[in-house]
C-alpha cells in the first residue's frame, strides 16, 4: 500500500513529460536532451550491530545512500534508497531499478553534429559515462576551451539536484539526524519524504529561506562524503555523444571558464 502510494508521486516521465522537461533544461541551461540530474546523498540511520561497517560511509557515520533523479522543477522521478553508506555511487546505480530498466526510458533522438543523441541524465564524476548518462570531461591541464566550457554548463545544470536535496531536507528534518527506529524502516521513511516533497513542489508550497540556512548548520554534524570518481573505461559511443554535445555548445553558446 505504501509503495503503491509512493509510486503515484515518483514515476518515470512519459514521452511528452520528458520532452517538456528537456525543453525547460535547454531554455535555462542551454544543454539539449536533458531529462534529469542524478546524484546521491547520505541519510543518517541507526545501523544494525551485525554488518555495522557496511553502513559506515567515508565520513565515518552510518547511513543509507539516497540516489535520486530530479527534473527541472526539483521533483524526484526516480529514487533508490536501499544501499548502505559504504557503497560507491556507481555501485548504487548498478544495483538500482533505474540501471536495470534504462532501456525503457523515454526516447526521442535528435541529430547533433552528425551524432544521434537521445534523452540523457547529467551526473557527477562518480558515475559511469553512458549514452543515457553524461558527465563532465575529466579535469586536466589538457582540457580544450570547448571541453572546459561544456563542463561549466553541465555543472550549472546539475545544481538542480543539489537544490532539490536541500529543499527535501528543509521540509523533512527527520532526514538530517539519526532516528532511533529500526534501520529496515529507513528506506520507507526516506521514500515517503521524497513523495511528500513532490506533492509540496507541485502544489507550490512556499519554502522559508531560514529552513535552508538551518539545514546547512545541521549538516555540519553529518557532513556529506565527497564523491569518488568513477575510473572505469568510458564507452566509445558515449564519448561520441559527449563530444557532439561539446561541439554543439561551443558553436551555439559563449565559451565559459571554470572559476578558480
Secondary structure E strands in the chain: 34-44, 63-70, 76-84, 110-112, 115-117, 120-122, 133-134
Report CA Rg, the chain.
Answer: 18
What is the DSSP pairing of strand 115-117 with strand 110-112?
Answer: antiparallel
Q: What is the mean pLDDT of residues 97-112?
A: 96
What integer pLDDT is reported at residue 1 of this predicted model? 44
Q: Is the pLDDT of residue 47 over 60?
A: yes
Half-sphere exposure of 18 toward its Cβ, with a 13 Å CA cutoff? 19
CA 8 to chain centre: 20
Lowest mean pLDDT among 2-16, 113-127, 140-154, 171-185: 2-16
Residue 62 has what DSSP assignment?
Answer: B
When pLDDT is cut at 50, 70 and 90, the band that residue 229 belongs to is confident
Spatial separation of the C-alpha atoms in residues 251 and 29, rounded to whole Å: 15
Rounded to two decimals, what is the model's pTM? 0.93
Spatial separation of the C-alpha atoms in residues 40 and 81, rounded to whole Å: 9
pLDDT digits (tens, 9 = 90+) for 191-206: 999 999 999 999 999 8
Give the three cell numbers for residue 260.
Answer: 578558480
Give the three cell numbers for residue 73.
Answer: 522543477
Q: Is the pLDDT of residue 217 over 80?
A: no
Amino acid at each position: 500500500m505504501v509503495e503503491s502510494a509512493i509510486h503515484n508521486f515518483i514515476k518515470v516521465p512519459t514521452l511528452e513529460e520528458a520532452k517538456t522537461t528537456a525543453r525547460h533544461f535547454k531554455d535555462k541551461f542551454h544543454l539539449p536532451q536533458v531529462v534529469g540530474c542524478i546524484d546521491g546523498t547520505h541519510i543518517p540511520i541507526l545501523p544494525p550491530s551485525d554488518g555495522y561497517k557496511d553502513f559506515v560511509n567515508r565520513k565515518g557515520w552510518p547511513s543509507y545512500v539516497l540516489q535520486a533523479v530530479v527534473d527541472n522543477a526539483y521533483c524526484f522521478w526516480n529514487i533508490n534508497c536501499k544501499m548502505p553508506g559504504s557503497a560507491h555511487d556507481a555501485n548504487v546505480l548498478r544495483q538500482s531499478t533505474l540501471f536495470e530498466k534504462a532501456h525503457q526510458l523515454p526516447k526521442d533522438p535528435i541529430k547533433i553534429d552528425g551524432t544521434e543523441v537521445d534523452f540523457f541524465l547529467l551526473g557527477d564524476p562518480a558515475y559511469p559515462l553512458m549514452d543515457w548518462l553524461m558527465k563532465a570531461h575529466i579535469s586536466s591541464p589538457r582540457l580544450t576551451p570547448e571541453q572546459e566550457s561544456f563542463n561549466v554548463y553541465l555543472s550549472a545544470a546539475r545544481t538542480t539536484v543539489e537544490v532539490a536535496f536541500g529543499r527535501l531536507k528543509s521540509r523533512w528534518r527527520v532526514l538530517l539526524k539519526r532516528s532511533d527506529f529500526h534501520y529496515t524502516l529507513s528506506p520507507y521513511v526516506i521514500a515517503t519524504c521524497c513523495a511528500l516533497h513532490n506533492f509540496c513542489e507541485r502544489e507550490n508550497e512556499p519554502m522559508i529561506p531560514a529552513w535552508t540556512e538551518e539545514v546547512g548548520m545541521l549538516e555540519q554534524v553529518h557532513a556529506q562524503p565527497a564523491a569518488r570518481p568513477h575510473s572505469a573505461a568510458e564507452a566509445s559511443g558515449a564519448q561520441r555523444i559527449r563530444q557532439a554535445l561539446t561541439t554543439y555548445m561551443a558553436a551555439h553558446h559563449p565559451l565559459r571558464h571554470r572559476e578558480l
